[in-house]
Every structure is written in structure tokens, then in C-alpha cells.
Amino acid sequence: MDKRDEICDKALELFLTDGYEQTPLSRVAKALGLSKAGLYHYFSSKEELLFQIHERQMERMFIPLLEEAEKFPDPAERVAFFMRQYILHAMTPDPSVRLLVHETQNLAKTHRARINRIWRRGFDLIRNALLEMKAAGKAKDLNMTFATFGALGMCSWIFYWFDYSRQEAAPELADTYVEIFLRGLTT
């Protein structure tokens, strides 16, 4: 494994256990058997490390499922696939999305903009599919920006209440939200 990946994995693990603010870089270095100077060789600051973790998680879990979803020609199937996979692969395996969303406030403005650009692709994927359904008379005449935030809200709120020790609940949860959201919209 690449050294940066190893550092990101370990740092995320420590942030999840003790909190981002409460974990000094010196503890991250120690857990990896590195000196603090050794860690600074890879990341110029704690903010830089947080950004790299966030971007890497997006590249590993969010972008591949966006790209898979984009292959569905039917807009309703595209939304269903995206919501389902987002719940199964991003929201329910562990609480890392919660941490990353909450700590976005600690990112520098330019880094935040780069992260938001990736999240925005998920927003656009859903919204464009809903507009396509509406144009084809297959969805109601609703405000599709609000509807898109509604779908993302149902899915993302999971990190506030999900019991991660009950992984077997995830597929039923995904089916329930896809069913409610898509049936709620369609004519």
C-alpha cells in the first residue's frame, strides 16, 4: 500500500475513535511509527491530511458508484441504483461519512470547493434524472431541486441514527427509501 494511503487509513481510524479536534498529528505519527517530521513529509498540515482523507474516500466510494449509475439509460433506474448503492456503500458500512461531513467546516475554502464539486455530481445526477422523468410525463410537476435534496436528506440522515452493528438491516433500508422516494414522485 502507498504510504499516503496508509497514513490516511490510520488517521481516519483515530479520528473516528477520538474525534478530529481531539486527535493531534503527533498521535497519528506515533500510531504509524513515524516522527512528526516524517508525517510532515507527506502532509503539510492537519487540514491537508483531512482534505486528502475526504477526497480519497470520495474517489473510492462515491465516484465509482456515480459512474456506474450514469450508465443506466432509464432515469428512474438511475436514481434507484444511485440511492441504493449510496446507502449500501457510503452510509451504512461505518460512520466515516458523518465525520467527513461534520469536519468539512475545518477545510480550507479551496479544499472545501473541491470536495463540494464532487458531492455536486451526485446532486446533479439525481436532479437531471428527475427533470428527465418530469419532461417525459413520468414524474409529477414538483420542484426537483427540493426533491433532490429530499432524496439526499433521507439517505444522508442515516448517519445520525443507524446502528452500525446491524449491517443486515442495510438492504431493507435501501429498498424502503428507493420505494418511498420514487413512488412519491411518479405520476
- Rule CB under 8 A: which residues touch a copy of itself? 101-102, 140, 142-143, 146-147, 149-150, 152-158, 160-161, 172-173, 176-177, 179-185
Q: Of the two residues 2 and 172, which places its CB atom closer to a copy of itself in the complex? A: 172
Query: Least distance from C-beta 183 to a copy of itself, angstroms?
Result: 5
When the beta carbons of 29 and 147 are compared against a copy of itself, the nearer one is: 147
| Phi, psi at 109, each rounded to 5° | -55, -45
Q: How far apart are CA 167 and CA 118, in angstroms?
A: 27
Question: What separation, in Å, do the N-terminal and C-terminal C-alpha atoms of the chain show?
Answer: 50
Residue 153 Cβ vs a copy of itself, minimum distance, rounded to whole Å? 3
CA dist 160 to 2, 12, 64, 97, 123, Å? 32, 18, 25, 11, 20
CB of 14 closer than 8 Å to CB of 23: yes
Minimum CB distance to a copy of itself smaller for 45 or for 187: 187
Q: How far is the CB of 41 from a copy of itself (least distance, A)?
A: 31
Please state the closest distance from residue 15 (CB atom) to a copy of itself, in A.
14
* Closest approach of a copy of itself to the CB of residue 94, in Å: 18
Q: Which residues contact 99 (CB under 8 A, 6 or more apart)?
A: 12, 15, 16, 20
Q: What's the min distance (Å) between Cβ of 32 and a copy of itself?
A: 27
Looking at the Cβ atoms of 5 and 179, the one nearer to a copy of itself is 179
Q: Which is nearer to a copy of itself, 29 or 133 (CB)?
A: 133
Nearer to a copy of itself, 14 or 151 (CB): 151
* DSSP E strand boundaries for 19-162: none
Q: What are phi and psi of 71, to 5 degrees?
A: -75, -15
What are residue 186's phi and psi, to 5 degrees?
-80, 155
CA pair distance 187, 183, nearest whole angstrom: 8
